[in-house]
Structure 1
Amino acid sequence: MMLRPVQMTEYAGREGLADMQELVQRTWSPTSRLHLGDLAWERASNASRSAGSWRTAVWRDGGQVVAWGWLEQPGHLLMTIDPARPELADVVVRWFRETAEGEQLAAGVLETEQHLLDALVSAGFRRDDAAPYFTHHWISLDALDKPVVPDGLSVRPVRADEAAKRAAVHRAAWSDVQPSKMSEESMATVMSTWPYRSELDWVVENEAGEFVASALIWLDEQHQVGLVEPVGVATAYRRRGLGQVVNLAALHALREAGGTRAVVCPRGDDGYPQARALYQSIGFQPGSRTLHLLLG
């Protein structure tokens, strides 16, 4: 049987997210690198800072999206290919090599995405095992511990009018190495991006009304799987168990919303073991890891 020719559409900037999410959700399995929440968070939270340099290409067979490639950085490729059309991986990698800028081209896949890995290796990419990597961690929602909130603090979901405070706690938690650029505008973009749900965006609040920890979960209703992304605790409130508290509260809310399991993707190497230790203390179990590949 001859396959019909596919049609490519290229996007610049923020466009193309819905097409990308459509394919990710339709083809998702536990062996997939990306959850539709990954795309929602990465593209919404970075839209005001990075969208000007983004290049995205989407391939369609008729009206159905069957492949896409995204230069999330000028020389770094993320892609999703319908497993039923593995030959398109070669097409996307070729587009990447013709389009990308920079002296060193790189790509990231999950080790279980063999159809993507084969295309990259055939094009001359090699594994960089010295690079940081991430490990998918999984938890079933049928036997969650209850969060124990320390005295003087409370835990609750975010309200729609609290983008400024929600951005502030993100900055307080993610400014260790360099100042976070999360603004109220960027957080408002996140909160307006499908499939964001405020009832799955949880915070720990102190007596002064400040948010001091947060955990956001993105629910794929079709697969009943929630992605935990991101989680943070303000530096002044660390080592008090608030990472566990806010995660467990959000996971309970995910179960109430119809989720049956959750996935989170912390660093798997020993360069930053703290996040992995937190999730494993809650009950997440490690699964597949990501691979970083370089051209040449």
Structure 2
Amino acid sequence: MQRYELAGADAVRAMQELVQRTWSPRSRLHVGDVAWERAVNSGRRGDTWRTAFWEDGGQVVAWGWAEPDHLSLVVDPGRAEVAGDVINWFQDLHPDGACSVLEDETQLVDALEKAGYQADDEAPFFTHHRIELSDLGTPVVPDGFMLRHAKPDEVQKRAAAHRAAWSDLGPSKVTDEDMAAVMSTWPYESELDWVVEAPNGEFAATALIWHDKVHGIGLVEPVGCAPAYRRQGLAAAVNLAALHALRDAGAKAAMVCPRGDDAYPTARALYQSIGFRPGARSKLYVRR
């Protein structure tokens, strides 16, 4: 067994390769989760990250991402014993850190509890939702608005739309450079990055889907609608348009992971209104 650390684009692809090879409906992470989180945050936070890989026989069987006092990890289900090695590595860095897993990832839950972590039942959590693409509703927008996918040369408009949608609780830190990194990270496809264009040319709402073509499932991450354009059905419409494009690209299903706790119900209600159905939830484990 060999352990080593990587950074930058090499780390992202190595992380995604293991996620894709081991993905199932019981997995917390999709290749799109890795793409979005690493790309959109790397310019501002990447220097605080450490990412370690465990390789056996030339194949990566586990990785851990410390960012910095929270652990994300993926472990090949056939090598569940390596989860303890990942957790020990993280504990050496952050003895009092935390880790989120899906409740269905029982091998990771067992490893965390063995290492002294306890579930924080009061912490916010996320619920995996799934929709089959065989029977989608029809997206509808008001007169003067237009549904279309973003273009590769619209980085600045795309970044501005994200900032407008995600600045309710404080200014969004996503820069044009951050969005450029997202749009250049595999498996981003502009044909699956949908927008509602307002009559004045602004992007009023957006929905990005990451397509795992091996498993035929897309991840919706993120979705947003600028406050000035809300309550017109634009978020639902842009989601449905992106899902239709995903189906046309050959996918069979899509997933999305909104907050599941009652402190933030709006996104969950939106997705369920267009046909997503809830499944397993995430749980935060802490070691004090």
Q: Structure 2: how far apart are the matches of 1:205 and 1:35?
A: 28
Report what 2:15 is aligned to: 20
**Matched residue, 1:288:** 280
Which letter maps to 1:68? W
Residue in 1 that maps onto 2:88: 94
Note the alpha carbon deviations across 1:164-193, whole angstroms, 9 max, x for none: 000000000000011001111111110000
Q: CA deviation at 1:14?
A: 5.7
- The answer to whether the 8 Å contact 1:204/1:242 transfers is yes
Deviation at 1:223, TM superposition (A): 0.1
Aligned equivalent of 1:37: 32
Matches within 5 A, 1:183-202: 183-202=175-194
Give the aligned residue type for 1:194: W
Q: 2:39 matched to 1:47?
A: no
Instruction: Could you tell me which runs of 5 or more consecutive residues in structure 1 were left unpaired when the two chains were aligned.
Output: 1-5
Amino acid in structure 2 at the alignment position of 1:23: L
What per-residue deviation string (whole Å, max 9, x for no partner) do you get for residues 80-115 of structure 1? 0000001000000000001237xx310000000011
Q: Is contact 1:190-1:196 (8 Å) kept?
A: yes
1:42 alignment partner, SS class: helix
Secondary structure at the aligned position of 1:187 is classed as helix
Distance 1:191 1:219 in 2: 14
Shift of 1:209: 1.0
Indicate conservation of the 8 Å contact 1:127/1:291, yes or no: yes
Kindly state the Cα deviation for residue 15 of structure 1 after the two structures are TM-superposed: 4.5
Structure 2 stretches lacking a partner, 5+ long:
none
Contact 1:219/1:226 (8 A) holds in 2: yes
Q: Encode CA deviations 1:191-245: one digit per residue, 9 max, x unaligned.
A: 0000000000000001121101000000000000000000000010011111100
RMSD (Å), alpha carbons: 1.0
Q: Is the 1:139–1:284 Cα contact (8 Å) retained in structure 2?
A: yes
Alignment of 1:1-296 (within 5 A): 6-12=1-7, 15-72=10-67, 74-100=68-94, 104-296=96-288
Q: 2:174 is matched by which residue type in structure 1? A: M
For the residues of structure 2 that align with 1:197 and 1:33, how far apart are their CA atoms? 22
Render the CA deviation track for 1:130-156: whole Å, top value 9, x for unaligned: 000000000000000010111110010
With normalisation by structure 2, the TM-score equals: 0.98
Cα displacement string for residues 229-274 of structure 1 (whole angstroms, at most 9, x for unaligned residues): 0000001001111110000000000000011000000000001000
- 56-65 or 118-127, which deviates more: 56-65
SS at 2:123's partner residue? coil
Residue 11 of structure 1 and its aligned partner are, at CA, apart by: 2.8
Match of 1:3 in 2: none
Which string of whole-angstrom CA distances, capped at 9 and with x for unpartnered residues, describes residues 44-101 of structure 1? 00011110100100111122110000012x2110000000001000000000001237
Cα distance in 2 for residues equivalent to 1:12 and 1:29: 26
Other structure's SS at 1:177 match: coil
Flag as ranges the 4+ runs of structure 1 deviating above 4 A. 12-15
Task: Give the 3-state SS of the residue equivalent to 1:50 in structure 2.
Answer: helix
Matched position secondary structure for 1:84: helix
Q: What amino acid maps onto 2:78 in structure 1? A: A
TM-score after normalising by structure 1: 0.96
